[in-house]
Structure 1
């Protein structure tokens, strides 16, 4: 896909694909529900802590590319988002499920994808997942997935989506992304501790006034 989707755009799109299939009663998603989905700590790799503005900006960018639609349900004052990836790229439910899980969790083996797509689409076995991956790779309009080189000591082949650019670069960047995430969490914890310390100091001063 040109230009490649950003990490936040991929997270937004992956969440919309997941929620459409997994929780259809709550779909399309309100802005707040979309932010919550993006920041889930389960079924996400990496875990993100995105603000409302970042998610909204990504949704707007995806809407401009025809991949997301903003709708205003009758009787509702809150707009909602739904994805248009299947229509834009001509994908069936299986292909959509595989891409969605790859967007949310990064490169995976067919076995992992078979387990993790169970809520989103029906696959009779790992062979069906592999057939879907092969179809995504062999698309005449341009590949949407790729096989990754085996890592040393690794038996199973992993696959990655190509919506964010080169799959090899994405795979190589997994460890640095993890380091950045840990550093970000450490900064957040330090800031929260400082806030708690300030609140405790203010509380002590308040109590001293009436002691």
Structure 2
């Protein structure tokens, strides 16, 4: 839930802080989540109460509908880059530095994988440590990282690569197909326009190079 507040702060800033209904929807989101949850509003409220006691979540005043926001950066004494990585690990489970750079892009744009590793190492050296580098398993080229906000990691229950449920939904797939079709149409229009302009200027264009 804490990571959902962090995520929505960047992805839907117009509706942040979040209402209970929006927060529940974010927690039960089916994509970009591991594990996928099915929490009730009552369960979310219980979690909010616990996080309030830790000052990690605050309730905004001045609104008819209660709204909630995170206080992760200040409580954990970490910069926004580290918060982005920590939130992504909370939302998606163990990941390599390269995967974290890709998956955290909406929260922070890292220049390269090396910069991600720098902040991960800082989180690992934090007192107490916030993340841990997992032992590389057979078949893996890179080690994955895991957050420690829920305590020590039990290596026997760390999900294997490929088990994270992050597939594209049918609706998203159809949207991508429609976007690809629209882009192809625009390219075709631009090509025709370019050929027309070249003809007007008396310039010969090799269509195979367009």
Band of TM-score, shorter chain: 0.7 to 0.9
Unaligned runs of 5+ in 1: 1-11, 182-211
1:42-53 residue pairs with structure 2 within 5 A?
Answer: 42-53=31-42
CA distance in 1, matches of 2:159, 2:117: 26
SS in structure 1 at match of 2:18: coil
Unaligned runs of 5+ in 2: 166-210
- Residue 95 of structure 2 is matched in structure 1 by 108
Kindly indicate whether residue 43 of structure 2 is the aligned counterpart of residue 57 of structure 1: no
Q: Is the 8 A contact 2:101 2:109 kept in 1?
A: no
| Match for residue 164 of structure 1 among 150, 166, 169 | 150
- The Cα RMSD (Å) is 1.8
Kindly indicate whether residue 86 of structure 2 is the aligned counterpart of residue 99 of structure 1: yes
1:38-187 residue pairs with structure 2 within 5 A?
Answer: 38-72=27-61, 74=62, 76-139=63-126, 141-167=127-153, 169=154, 171-175=155-159
CA distance in 1, matches of 2:60, 2:18: 10
CA distance in 1, matches of 2:114, 2:104: 14
- Residue 203 of structure 1 is matched in structure 2 by none
Aligned length: 162
User: Which of the pair has more CA radius of gyration?
Assistant: 2
TM-score normalised by L of structure 1:
0.73
Stretches (4+) displaced over 4 A: none
SS in structure 1 at match of 2:30: coil
TM-score normalised by L of structure 2:
0.74
Higher helix residue share:
1
Q: Is the 8 A contact 2:56 2:75 kept in 1?
A: yes
| Match for residue 27 of structure 1 among 16, 28, 51 | 16
